[in-house]
Chains A and B, each alone.
Chain A
Amino acid sequence: MRTRSSSLLLILPALVLLAAVFLYPLLRYGWLSFHASSVLTGLVPVPNGGANWGRLLDDVRFWTDAGQTLRFAICSVALELLGGLALALLLHRPLRGRGPLRALTLLPWALPTTVMALGWRWILNDPHGPLNAAIRSLGGSSYGFLSTPATTWFFVVLADVWKTMPFVALLLLAGLQTIPVDLEEALRLEGASRLQILRRLTLPLLVPYITLAVLFRLAQALGVFDLIQVLTGGGPAGSTESLALYAYLNAMRFLDFGYASTVMLATFLLLLVPLGGGWLLLRRAGLERTTERAA
Chain B
Amino acid sequence: MSTASGAGLELRQLCREVGERRLLDRLDLHVAPGECVALLGPSGCGKSTTLRLVAGLDPASGGQVLLDGEDLSERGPGERQVAMVFQSYALYPHLSVAGNLELGLQVRGMAVRERQRRIDATLDLLQLGELRHRRPAQLSGGQRQRVALARALLRQPRIVLLDEPMSNLDAQLREDLRPELRRLLCGREQPVIYVTHDQQEAVGMADRIALLEAGRLQQVGSPRELYTNPANRFVASFLGRPAINLLSIEPGRQLGLRPEHLHLSEDGAVAARLLRREWWGHQQLLWLDSQWGTLRVLTAPETATPQEPRLSWQRQHELWFDPQSGARLLH
Interface positions of A (Cβ within 8 A of B): 180, 182-183, 185-193, 196, 200-201, 204-205, 291-293, 295
Contacts and interface: CB of A to CB of B under 8 A. Distances in A.
Interface string B88-132: 101011100000000110111000000000000000000000000
B169 interface: no
25 contacts: A180-B88, A182-B86, A183-B90, A186-B84, A187-B92, A187-B103, A188-B57, A188-B76, A188-B78, A189-B55, A189-B77, A189-B78, A189-B82, A190-B103, A190-B104, A191-B78, A191-B107, A192-B78, A192-B107, A193-B107, A200-B103, A200-B106, A200-B107, A201-B92, A292-B137
B155 interface: yes
Given A180-B90, A190-B107, A192-B107, A185 B138 contact: no
Contacts of A201: 92, 103
Contact of B137 (A189, A193, A200, A295): A295
B111 to A, nearest CB: 16
Interface residues of B, number: 26
Interface string B293-309: 00000000000000000
B94 A196 contact: no
B94 A205 contact: yes
A191 B94 CA distance: 19
B315 to A, nearest CB: 50
Nearest to B78: A191
Given A187-B92, A188-B77, A192-B107, 16 more contacts: A182-B90, A183-B90, A183-B92, A186-B90, A186-B92, A187-B107, A189-B80, A189-B83, A189-B84, A190-B107, A191-B79, A191-B104, A191-B107, A192-B104, A193-B107, A200-B107
Contacts of A186: 84, 86, 90, 92, 151
Contacts of A292: 93, 135, 137
A183 B151 CA distance: 13
Contacts of B57: 185, 188-189
Given A185-B90, A189-B78, A295 B104 contact: no
Nearest to A293: B137
Top 6 closest pairs, chain A to chain B, by CB: A190-B104, A292-B137, A191-B78, A186-B90, A182-B90, A192-B107
